[in-house]
Structure 1
Amino acid sequence: MNAILRAEGVDLFYGTHQAVSGADFSLRRGEVTAIMGSSGSGKSSLLYCLAGVLAPTNGTVSFDGTKFSALTDDELSTLRRERFGFVFQYGELLPELTVEENAALPLRLAGQRKAPAHEAAGEVLGRLGMTELLQRRTSQLSGGQSQRVAVARALVHRPDVVFADEPTGALDSVNASAVLEEFLRLARDQGTAVVVVTHDVAVAEHADSRYTMTDGLLK
């Protein structure tokens, strides 16, 4: 099956420091891939190149056959907003919004009306066991609950790819396992591919394929 996301010969420099060195990567539709490595190995830097957040110094990243370098800034922003989802270690929720409003945000930013956007968010949140908390402010949530909202927000618009940067790193082992399983179950149910960066072997074991990154080298 052809790759939906591909990187070829990607280098990334921060000044004179090379964070990523000659990385080749491919991801198929619906596939869950883990990029493992210790802190400072370059795995998050590569993730942001794959997501079109950082432009590689050398090499190319392509999504669905189109190179990021061929897109304007506006086109790349639209691609990230409409076709990608993101889950970060600490959720990165907006505290002034409710659970439901946070989860519905990608749909609202895409121009969808409030009622259908909130209905879709409520459905995804319900599958994550959050139905009773839709109107709660995120400042009142536990770590596991906050990360479930972040997962709902990443998946609500049915993206092609979700990029997850240490998505359970801030959780205890019990919550981490539960949130990860719910996240990957939902992603697989809707055919969303996932790239998850992690240092945790237990997280990587849930993936269909695995890469290891050491000192900027991807293997």
Structure 2
Amino acid sequence: MSEILSGRGIDLHYGSAQAVRGASVSLHKGEVAAITGQSGSGKSSLLYCLAGVLPVTGGEVRFAGRLLRDLGDEELSALRRDRFGFVFQYGELLPELTVEENTALPLRLAGQRKSPALAAAGEVLGRLGLADLRERRPSQVSGGQSQRVAVARALVHRPAVVFADEPTGSLDSANAATVLDEFLGLARSQGTAVLLVTHDPEVAAQADSRYTMSDGVLGAWERGAS
């Protein structure tokens, strides 16, 4: 597999506090990697460094061989919009949009016309068992359904990498297992690489590779059970 995303020697400071210390990560096309650790260990900060959301204090991040620090603001924004997808702990759907419109949002922001964008959204929603909810608002669906919509939104534009920050942390165990299975199954079928952070060992066990983080230090890579 070819490497799609890498971080080498990443440091991140918030003022005088150091959140990430010399972290190195490698992610390949179609790979699912998990970073585990307790709250405050620095795993979410590292995720956002790798996604180009937080500028690193030291070290480097590369996507498809290109250094993120060499990209201008517009180019970096386009990269996050077009090549990356994001799943957050609480879904963060826009309340004024329907389920279908929320799902289509990455395509619409990239300039795709409404009709094909909604058609693509409907296809992904159908694969996640959400076709009947297309016209509902986020307030009219359950927590588990809302998180599946967030997964559909992250994958609808077939990104190269999806960054998932505690994607099932707000769900009960049954809904968490369902969402995770659907998320990772669809991502793998599309050849999308997934980097997820979690404190849950059962979630991490679904990954192809795992890292453990503590006090800003990322432990050695290990291969998952899958």
Instruction: State the TM bucket, normalised to the shorter chain.
Output: over 0.9
- How far, CA to CA, are the matches of 1:42 and 1:70 in structure 2? 24
Deviation string 1:75-130 (CA, Å, 9 cap, x unpaired) is: 00000000000000000100000000000000000111111000000000011111
User: What SS does the aligned partner of 1:30 have?
Assistant: coil
Task: State the TM-score, normalizing by the size of structure 1.
Answer: 0.99
2:222 matched to which residue of 1?
none
Aligned residues: CA RMSD? 0.5
Matched, 1:172 2:160: no
Task: State the TM-score, normalizing by the size of structure 2.
Answer: 0.96
Deviation at 1:141, TM superposition (A): 1.1
Q: Name stretches of at least 5 consecutive residues in structure 2 with no aligned partner.
A: 220-226
1:150 matched to which residue of 2?
150
Deviation string 1:145-164 (CA, Å, 9 cap, x unpaired) is: 00010000000000000000
- How far, CA to CA, are the matches of 1:147 and 1:196 in structure 2? 15
1:96 matched to which residue of 2?
96
- How far, CA to CA, are the matches of 1:148 and 1:96 in structure 2? 18
- How far, CA to CA, are the matches of 2:13 and 2:69 in structure 1? 17
1:41 matched to which residue of 2?
41
Matched, 1:200 2:186: no
User: What SS does the aligned partner of 1:56 have?
Assistant: coil
1:70 matched to which residue of 2?
70
2:215 matched to which residue of 1?
215
Instruction: Tell me which amino acid in the other structure corresponds to 1:40.
Output: G
Matched, 1:6 2:3: no
Deviation string 1:184-206 (CA, Å, 9 cap, x unpaired) is: 00000100000000000000010
Percentage of pairs with the same residue: 73
Deviation string 1:20-57 (CA, Å, 9 cap, x unpaired) is: 00001100111000000000000000000000000000
User: What SS does the aligned partner of 1:26 have?
Assistant: strand
- Equivalenced residue count is 219
Instruction: Tell me which amino acid in the other structure corresponds to 2:4.
Output: I
Deviation at 1:58, TM superposition (A): 0.5
